Structure 1
């Protein structure tokens, strides 16, 4: 075997947690190498979080322009130039690449572009993108492998060349009719964006509701809002077969409670879940155990079954959010320094960047019922928040769960303007173990959306006698 190059730390994958850890260790004087197949900085700045929100903002501008008359601004016909939408996104990605390359340079961590495979304990062979191989070994190995879009086993689907979010964000043309397989978070974000750009959009969801993790009232409100923008939904619909080619013409045959139906469109987008990038890279041979779903099995300190090997982010089964990968980095960083950080004691929030957005932290009603936790539930329509009188952003509602036997806030969900910012205030109160009356009675600035927390929490029922 070729003599290996020695490093103090080797990071396989340059996602959010991996690159932050690499830069941290390199700045502390360690010799660090990062192996990345394709995306400098990982998928978030290149093909996922930032690019998708960039294009969704362009879609929001298009929507506001189309409805400018509602606010007294008179415009002519509105059209979207998808080439310019794409170029704006690409310009942002180029800025991100430059930022990341500079961060690698200034930190001292070496970025190696190529495909890595574990060939022995803590030893990685890299097939370099520009040709040749390198053999790298390290005292510590950190796996930040990410995931990729699942293509369901529907006859004809793979042959149709479906779009995933990556290809959808590279379109310089407007699909005449976009068929979206999957009514989860990514599917809804992309569906709304392309509807606002001007496409006809149909969403096919196999489950009994959109956004399967959410309470039924939340899913129903999102369904209502997006249907109002002209998106057609088929819920409880099983895709049976796909014919044609995405970008030309596709036909999707589905089975619903009403019988079979064929949806004909120009393009098909798959947003039906994610698969960890753990297959075929030598994990098992290196003593790294996977769970039944193909994710790397880790303990609450993100240690794998192999000594000296950690995993973080989506490949380790962490919630699939960039901010969670950042916290995975902090857990590993602090524990390497002698700390006792754990994944078991964190409160994970998330946002879905539809317009209006969805935000949630903590338990929802369904989870509380499943866990046998008694709660008191309060709701407030967004139309009751005074700011919406000024902005006409009246869609949606807020919902809070308070413990049945004390005044702890256990969970919060909102669909509405600035939902994520409102959620951050509730999350802070939860982290501080603040009894809900303290937040209810806080003096919150007028006119803000967070001002609605007062009346929302004023609706909490009294404790049972």
Structure 2
């Protein structure tokens, strides 16, 4: 194609993840001429093969737990509650399909030019697009945003390329619920699926190379997560590393050989060993865009790449791999493309691991705070001490907060227990406002709610630096 075939637009977005699609719609509504090209997922990874379908299935698992425990609430349920694979699949697909359809309408209504196809850079700020319908286009953006996300990583194990295994995306096809399953990797994804499938009735063995699950968490938190999974029936194997994978003849069991020569087997294997950026086929060097040795786009704190007027956002730019982090990237890009000066430096990004019960985290862990040389106070209560948890018969877990002993400001929290993903937002807001912990301790929080537990959590601290009262036992706090 010659220069005369190049379409010039105000904004070219390569990849339709949360940051990219939000920016494309926003700028199109502001009368920018916008083209967004997406390879295969209308709406991005989150709603198609990540957050939304997995949390829909977590909802199914939790509903099954509630049904099994109905008698504790005085409710009679005829027969043993069980999972219907067809209905489970329909539930997940209905949620995803509705959101994909809604996104298609939002894209059209915004006025952007949405293209399904594969893009490669052919010059500065210019891509060639092979469209899904077989056509070709050449588009150049005055401003360009790369938002291509990540995909499941595959470890280098003998035999793995010849063995049909699941990853965090293919497992969502729900072809069957196996009687036995191996999970390779004890990070957030591995723990979520292990908890979910164990609830569905699968006998799960989780293999983790490091000596604890969730290596980014404090050891005491990780140990309790491991105990929760064990109580759900998951066989947790720590400090074991896989060396080879094979499937027995026919469609037999998958066998994983460990580094000590032992073997473990299951009908299916879920590989949950992280994600890798989708940048290898973009020809980024042609556009002057540098990447790291792992393939992530190099950006500064404004999300600028090494090429003028080319930006990157979301997972592919090395941002925290959460949809809400990508959405915050959108807000930074929008500001910077419209005369502002926004940066990623110092932002506070919480997250929730959707086990049952869930682990919600924000800020520093105790280990991170001590490694920075801070004097800290640790607040801790069992979830069983929270009145609302008692009413729900859902008392598993512990809440923990890290407080700066010199300023009384909250440095971080790890809330493991029912509803923690909702409650952690209150802690985050207090941290953003730089409130001393006493403001939450003394606030009149509604009773009986899980958020009320924050009163109890911070009441375990007194006003003397580096001191901590003993956490109350479940029976020491009045329930009304």
Q: TM-score, normalised by structure 2?
A: 0.94
Aligned twin of 2:477: none
Decide which moves more: 292-301 or 221-230.
292-301
2:257 matches 1:253: yes
- Can you list the C-alpha shifts for 1:25-74, whole angstroms capped at 9, x where unaligned? 10111111111110001011111100000011111112222232333333
User: For residues 196 and 464 of structure 1, do their structure 2 counterparts lie closer, same or farther at Cα, with a shift above 3 Å needed?
Assistant: closer
Measured after TM superposition, the shift of residue 393 of structure 1 is 1.1
Determine the C-alpha separation between the residues in 1 that align with 2:73 and 2:226: 25
Q: How does 1:247-326 map to 2 (within 5 A)?
A: 248-255=252-259, 259-326=260-327
Measured after TM superposition, the shift of residue 140 of structure 1 is 0.9
Q: What is the SS of the residue equivalent to 1:11?
A: strand
Aligned twin of 2:475: none
Q: How does 1:94-173 map to 2 (within 5 A)?
A: 94-173=97-176
Aligned twin of 1:231: 234
Instruction: Say whether the 8 Å CA contact 1:295–1:316 is kept in structure 2.
Output: yes
Decide which moves more: 121-130 or 209-218.
121-130
Instruction: Say whether the 8 Å CA contact 1:422–1:449 is kept in structure 2.
Output: yes
Aligned twin of 2:11: 9
Q: What is the SS of the residue equivalent to 2:456?
A: helix
Q: How does 1:9-88 map to 2 (within 5 A)?
A: 9-75=11-77, 76-88=79-91
User: For residues 247 and 47 of structure 1, do their structure 2 counterparts lie closer, same or farther at Cα, with a shift above 3 Å needed?
Assistant: farther
- Can you list the C-alpha shifts for 1:260-288, whole angstroms capped at 9, x where unaligned? 32111111111100101111211112110
Instruction: Say whether the 8 Å CA contact 2:376–2:466 is kept in structure 1.
Output: no
Residue in structure 1 matching 2:96, options 90, 93, 98:
93
Structure 2 residue runs of 5 or longer lacking an equivalent are 468-480
Decide which moves more: 325-334 or 371-380.
371-380
Determine the C-alpha separation between the residues in 2 that align with 1:320 and 1:460: 33
Determine the C-alpha separation between the residues in 2 that align with 1:460 and 1:335: 42
Determine the C-alpha separation between the residues in 2 that align with 1:276 and 1:247: 32
Q: TM-score, normalised by structure 1?
A: 0.97
Aligned twin of 1:460: 461
Q: How does 1:337-416 map to 2 (within 5 A)?
A: 337-416=338-417
Q: What is the SS of the residue equivalent to 1:195?
A: helix
Instruction: Say whether the 8 Å CA contact 1:162–1:269 is kept in structure 2.
Output: yes
Instruction: Say whether the 8 Å CA contact 1:247–1:267 is kept in structure 2.
Output: no
Measured after TM superposition, the shift of residue 132 of structure 1 is 2.5
Across the aligned residues of Structure 1 and Structure 2, the Cα RMSD in angstroms comes to 1.4
Determine the C-alpha separation between the residues in 1 that align with 2:17 and 2:378: 38
Q: What is the SS of the residue equivalent to 2:311?
A: strand
Decide which moves more: 411-420 or 372-381.
372-381
Determine the C-alpha separation between the residues in 1 that align with 2:206 and 2:443: 42
Instruction: Say whether the 8 Å CA contact 1:12–1:35 is kept in structure 2.
Output: yes
Instruction: Say whether the 8 Å CA contact 2:150–2:316 is kept in structure 1.
Output: yes
Q: How does 1:174-253 map to 2 (within 5 A)?
A: 174-244=177-247, 248-253=252-257
Determine the C-alpha separation between the residues in 1 that align with 2:455 and 2:97: 43
Aligned twin of 1:447: 448
Determine the C-alpha separation between the residues in 2 that align with 1:308 and 1:34: 16
Instruction: Say whether the 8 Å CA contact 1:11–1:141 is kept in structure 2.
Output: yes
Q: What is the SS of the residue equivalent to 1:290?
A: coil
Decide which moves more: 277-286 or 137-146.
277-286
Determine the C-alpha separation between the residues in 1 that align with 2:466 and 2:379: 15
Determine the C-alpha separation between the residues in 2 that align with 1:260 and 1:398: 39
Determine the C-alpha separation between the residues in 1 that align with 2:422 and 2:65: 22
- Can you list the C-alpha shifts for 1:361-418, whole angstroms capped at 9, x where unaligned? 1101111122222211111111111112211111111111111211111111110011
Structure 1 residue runs of 5 or longer lacking an equivalent are none
Determine the C-alpha separation between the residues in 1 that align with 2:71 and 2:176: 27
User: For residues 34 and 364 of structure 1, do their structure 2 counterparts lie closer, same or farther at Cα, with a shift above 3 Å needed?
Assistant: same
Decide which moves more: 73-82 or 271-280.
73-82
Determine the C-alpha separation between the residues in 2 that align with 1:13 and 1:282: 14
Instruction: Say whether the 8 Å CA contact 1:55–1:169 is kept in structure 2.
Output: no
Measured after TM superposition, the shift of residue 248 of structure 1 is 4.2
Determine the C-alpha separation between the residues in 2 that align with 1:92 and 1:385: 33
Q: What is the SS of the residue equivalent to 1:142?
A: strand
Determine the C-alpha separation between the residues in 1 that align with 2:182 and 2:74: 34
Determine the C-alpha separation between the residues in 1 that align with 2:76 and 2:101: 40
- Can you list the C-alpha shifts for 1:104-124, whole angstroms capped at 9, x where unaligned? 111111111111100100010
Determine the C-alpha separation between the residues in 2 that align with 1:121 and 1:212: 40
